[in-house]
Amino acid sequence: MHELSITQSVVDAVCERAAGRPVRTVRLRVGALTAVVPDAMRFCFDLTTAGTVAEGALLEIDQPPGTAHCRACERDFTLTDLVLLCPCGSADVNITSGRELQIVSMRVG
Ligand SMILES: [Zn+2]
């Protein structure tokens, strides 16, 4: 379950930024191509925030689909899973988004 190590780094960053203030809400953007399962991540979040300033904080997860550009037909298309194939059948694609994992915002105090 790679969510645990990912979530641990998120929680570490959140707690550092909070600088001792209680954290109410954390909003993440997790691209679809990271293969992170939001429910698993919420479970790990509850585990890893226990005993920290982020304990009990609400975790909001945006999971935008990925996008890619096909070098064969020069088309941009949406990726909803890890199958990196253009609708034209080509695998010569360049991922342009979907692998990002960012803390979009957090509310403290
Ligand atoms: Zn194509």
Q: Does 73 carry a binding-site annotation?
A: yes
Neighbours of ion ligand 1 (CB under 5 A): 70, 72-73, 86, 88, 90
| Predicted local distance difference test score (pLDDT) of residue 48 | 97
Has residue 21 got a pLDDT over 90?
yes
| Predicted local distance difference test score (pLDDT) of residue 103 | 97
Q: Which fold has domain 3-65+98-108?
A: hypothetical protein PF0899 fold (3.30.2320)
| Predicted local distance difference test score (pLDDT) of residue 4 | 94
Dihedral angle of Cα 82, 87, 93, 99, to the nearest 10 degrees: -30
Q: What is the pLDDT of residues 46-94, one digit of tens each?
A: 999 999 999 999 999 999 999 999 999 999 999 977 888 999 999 999 9
Has residue 1 got a pLDDT over 70?
no
Q: Where are the domains of the chain?
A: 3-65+98-108
- 94 CA from centroid of ligand 1 (Å): 11
Rg (CA), the chain: 17
Q: DSSP state, 98?
A: S
| Predicted local distance difference test score (pLDDT) of residue 35 | 86
* Contact between 106 and 27 (Cβ < 8 Å): yes
- 44 CA from centroid of ligand 1 (Å): 38
Helix, strand, coil: what percent of the chain each, to 5?
30, 30, 40
Average pLDDT over residues 11-34: 96
Return the SS3 of 85.
coil
